[in-house]
Amino acid sequence: MKIKNNMLYMKKQSKLNQNFQKIYDNARKKLTKKQKNNIIMITCGCFVGLINGLLGGGGGLICVPLLEKFLHFEKKKAHATSISIIFPLSLISAFVYVFSGNIPSLPLVFVTLGVVCGGVSGALLLKVLPEKVVSIVFACIMIVAGLRLVL
């Protein structure tokens, strides 16, 4: 009788131990996952900010794939969120550019006018044009322009 009781007690104890172990493991995993996420986010921010400031744009080109790959955003949400990330970063960078006195004011007005009109029509065209063709054209132009700027 006594031995049986003892065995039962031990079984119970070991089960309890296992449960505790499980809870502890889970807690640890969750914590490290959260910390990992934080580190990824901060690193992404540094990278996007630096590129966006140094190159005066193009933060979105990096931010969208980063969000998709490391934080597992879906495509549309990644696009929208990346704009809301880049907006404050560009604002700060724009201040630095303006105060350094490197921007001619008259062309600024004309180009901005064109960009706003083009942006609206681009958003509308997006539904009509095939995405793959547009991105191939875009990539080719980028490569040619890049070569031209380097050489």
Within 31-90, which residues bind another protein (CB under 8 A)? 37-38, 41-58, 60-61, 64, 73, 76-77, 79-81, 83-90
Q: Closer to another protein by CB, 7 or 96: give it.
A: 96
Q: Identify the CA nearest to 122 among candidates 107, 138, 108.
A: 138
How many other CB atoms sit within 10 Å of the CB of residue 51? Answer: 17
| Least Å from the CB of residue 33 to another protein | 13
Structure tokens at 21: 């172990």
Q: How many residues bind another protein (CB under 8 A)?
A: 85
| Least Å from the CB of residue 34 to another protein | 10
| Least Å from the CB of residue 28 to another protein | 21
Range in contact with another protein (rule: CB under 8 A) among 2-10, 12-20, 22-30, 105-113: 105-113
Q: Identify the CA nearest to 44 among candidates 85, 15, 105.
A: 85
| Contacts with another protein, 1-20, as mask; x by CB under 8 A | --------------------
| Least Å from the CB of residue 59 to another protein | 8
Q: Closer to another protein by CB, 1 or 131: give it.
A: 131
| Least Å from the CB of residue 19 to another protein | 31
Question: SS3 string of the chain?
Answer: CHHHHHHHHHHHHHHHHHHHHHHHHHHHHHHHHHHHHHHHHHHHHHHHHHHHHHHCCCHHHHHHHHHHHHCCCCHHHHHHHHHHHHHHHHHHHHHHHHHCCCCCHHHHHHHHHHHHHHHHHHHHHCCCCCHHHHHHHHHHHHHHHHHHHHC
Q: Closer to another protein by CB, 10 or 111: give it.
A: 111
